[in-house]
Amino acid sequence: MDRVLQIGPLLPSLERDMREHYDVVLLDDVPDGYLDEHGAEFAAAVASSRIGVDRALMDRLPSLRVIVNFGVGYETTDVEAAKERGIAVANTPDVLNDCVADTAVGGLIDVMRRFSAADRFVRRGDWTRGPFPLATKVSGKRVGILGLGRIGRAIARRLEGFDVEIAYHSRSRVEGVPYARMETPEKLAAWCDALIVATSGGAGTRGLVSAAVLEALGPDGYLVNISRGSVVDEPALVAALTGGRIAGAALDVFAHEPDVPAELLTLDSVVLLPHIGSATHETRRAMGDLAFRNLRNFMEKGTLITPVPEI
Ligand code: 8YV
């Protein structure tokens, strides 16, 4: 039976499938020094967007040929190091587009119409003392999408139903879409009423939503982030929100999950979600199945179904 190294906890159904077909060892369970003796026995590693495979771990797995990442984002795995060693890398794209896009639109409506704040208002019994303050209309507004990849486009398609005007910024122009491209994130933020962050994470997008971008979004502007906390300068975001320099934010991702900046916990202008963009039974199951199919395909035929584009 081939040996597979599991990095961190995974979806239970994926773990079951893996155990049925392979000799799975959970990295967290092995004693110190285990990999010095047994590292060469692993041809495959299965990781997640939360904990990936870094260069140091690859060095301890000299026979590693494939890394399968449960999740579309794979910035926790060092793809450059994998490439140097001829290690194939797969992720789980597309199957989560619907749910992550739904989360973005849900967050946008929640923060602008203040549904979560209104729910707290009712639960506190405040309704008996007077009406809830007026909120901001969503339909017909200008929405900027930062990163018009597969998830960004799924968000845009949904928003077309709200008659919003859509523009985007991506590193390069996206062909075949009816949306205007803004040259910089600042220009997009200055143009829109709400900025939705849908880029990938990693070094290339770190701090892309800077203090200057938030300044450009302005006191009537909203931020929605369903991509990675690292894309936003979090201290600058906290300062902008507490100082009223942007109107509100819906955040599914944070710089140091599961830690959320304490200042945000008491702010009614912020919707805080615990990284649940893809967290439905249907989507997680589809992600688990795709991860497993990648693993099997590679172990049996030497090819991946959804390899990452860099390799
Ligand atoms: C999951 C994600 O939370 O796919 C991603 O990149 O961030 C989410 O779908 C994650 O994969 C779980 O590890």
Give, using CA atoms, the residue closest to atom 6 of ligand 1. Answer: 73
Q: Which two tokens stand for residue 294?
A: 């990648």
Cα 311 to Cα 308: distance, rounded to the nearest angstrom:
6
What value does the mean pLDDT of the chain take? 98
**Digit-coded pLDDT (tens) for 213-239:** 999 999 999 999 999 999 999 999 999
Apex 52 CA angle, 89 and 18, nearest 5: 70
Mean local confidence (pLDDT), 133-147: 98
C-alpha span between 26 and 113 (Å, rounded):
44
Residue ranges in 52-114 assigned as alpha helix (H): 55-59, 79-85, 97-113
Q: Does ipTM surpass 0.85 in this model?
A: yes
CB atoms within 10 A of CB 120: 12
Nearest-angstrom CA–CA distance, 95 and 100: 10
- Does the annotation mark 173 as catalytic? no
User: Which CATH architecture best describes the domain 3-95+281-301?
Assistant: 3-Layer(aba) Sandwich (3.40)
Q: Which H helix or E strand runs over 213?
A: helix 211-217
Phi, psi of 305, rounded to the nearest 5 degrees? -85, -45
Predicted confidence (pLDDT) per residue in 234-280, tens digit = 999 999 999 999 999 999 999 999 999 999 999 999 999 999 999 99
Same fold, 3-95+281-301 and 97-272: yes
Distance 58 CA to ligand 1 centre (A): 22
Kindly state the DSSP code that residue 203 receives in the 8-state scheme: G
What kind of architecture, by CATH, is found in domain 97-272? 3-Layer(aba) Sandwich (3.40)
Residue 1: pLDDT band with limits 50, 70, 90: confident
- Site to probe by mutation for ligand 1, drawn from 49, 74, 290 as the one with most ligand atoms within 8 Å of Cβ, is 49
Is residue 124 pLDDT above 90, yes or no? yes
| Mean pLDDT on 36-49 | 97
Please report which confidence band the pLDDT of residue 311 belongs to, taking 50, 70 and 90 as the band edges: confident
Place of tokens 């122009």: 173
pLDDT at position 274, please?
98
Please state the rounded mean pLDDT for residues 205-220: 98
Question: What pLDDT is recorded for position 158?
Answer: 98
**In the chain, pLDDT over 90 holds for what percent of residues?**
99
Whether 71 contacts 287, CB under 8 Å: yes
Identify the band that residue 78 occupies on the pLDDT scale cut at 50, 70 and 90: very high
CA of 127 to the centre of ligand 1 (A): 38
Atom in ligand 1 nearest the alpha carbon of residue 228: 7
- Residue 29: which residues within 8 A CB-CB, separation 6 or more? none
275-294 average pLDDT score: 98
Length of the chain: 311
Task: For the chain, report the end-to-end CA distance as a whole number of angstroms.
Answer: 27
d(CA 215, CA 221): 9
Q: Are 22 and 2 in contact (CB under 8 A)?
A: yes
Indicate the pLDDT class of residue 172, thresholds 50, 70 and 90.
Answer: very high
* Calpha distance 36→57 (Å, rounded): 11
Residue type, 274: P
List, in order, residues 6 or more apart from 65 with CB less than 8 Å away: 43, 44, 86, 87, 88, 298
Instruction: Based on DSSP, count helices (H) and strands (E) in the chain, helices before strands.
Output: 12, 12
Cα separation, 216 vs 201, in Å, equals: 22
Distance CA 224, CA 250 (A): 5
% of the chain beyond a pLDDT of 70: 100
Residues 49/73, Cβ–Cβ less than 8 Å: yes
Tell me, what's the pLDDT at 179? 98
Which residue out of 84, 160, 257, 310 is catalytically annotated?
A: 257
- Ligand 1 centroid, distance to 137 Cα (angstroms): 31
Q: Is the pLDDT of residue 7 over 90?
A: yes
Rounded Cα distance between 163 and 140, Å, is 5
Delimit the domains of the chain by residue range.
3-95+281-301, 97-272
The single-letter code of the amino acid at 193 is: D
Task: Tell me the β-bridge partners of 68.
Answer: 46, 90
Measured between alpha carbons, how far is 24 from 199 in angstroms, rounded to an integer?
A: 33
Sign of the four-CA dihedral 142, 148, 154, 157: positive
